[in-house]
Amino acid sequence: MTRLSVNINKVATIRNARGGNVPSVTHAAVEIQKYGAQGITIHPRPDERHIRYADVYDLKPLVHTEFNIEGNPIKSFMDMVLEVKPEQVTLVPDSNDVLTSNAGWDTIKNKEFLTEVIQEFKQAGIRTSIFVDPNHDMIEGAAAIGVDRIELYTEAFAVGYANGDEKAVEPYALCAELAHKLGLGINAGHDLSLDNIAFFKQNVPHLLEVSIGHALISEALYLGFETVVKRYLELLK
């Protein structure tokens, strides 16, 4: 079964819009795990526009599944991850001014930098993953820098599939096969939803984990966390 990690950034976005602590990201994490999700993902950004660095420390003792922290490896992010020591860190090359993650790493251009960062995390006992586009050169570059896993950036698939193009999944299937041959674990995320997750899972081999945030939180507004999490788990079997 492919594991489900729920990104709770959007819970923090709603909280921050009003101030205070409602809705609570810690309560959401506890409930989501209770309903069967196998992980909690957060992506703290320097401007703390959704998840705050303080949230990371509040969540650490409450996440009894897999804690996955995403972000751009600037110094403050690295210091925080090395102190908290989540089960997984996912490196994302987003700048401060982007609304959401919109591209994977150039693993060739950034080889030296990524190699140093990844080794520092791995020496601390943290599993490493990097956000990559479905591109064979980038997959091979990821293997060369010593990362444990890749997270395939799935926006292109989601857009294509929504427009009736089932072939949009093919680059992901081919890249997953290549990554597996190179000894990399395969995660995926971005715009995956109840509408497309089953098709993606059925067509992309060796898929270990999906990280789903915006769609799942939006779906939960209508259906509730318990119903939505259980639907994803059923579709990921």
Dihedral, CA of residue 69, residue 71, residue 75 and residue 76, to nearest 10: -60
Contacts of 184 by beta carbon, 8 Å cutoff, 6+ apart: 139, 142, 143, 147, 148, 149, 150
DSSP single-letter state for residue 107: T
Q: Which residues are catalytic?
A: 43, 70, 190
Distance CA 117, CA 128 (A): 10
CB 66 within 8 A of CB 105: no
CB 162 within 8 A of CB 197: no
Q: Is the dihedral of CA 172, 177, 209, 57 positive or negative?
A: negative
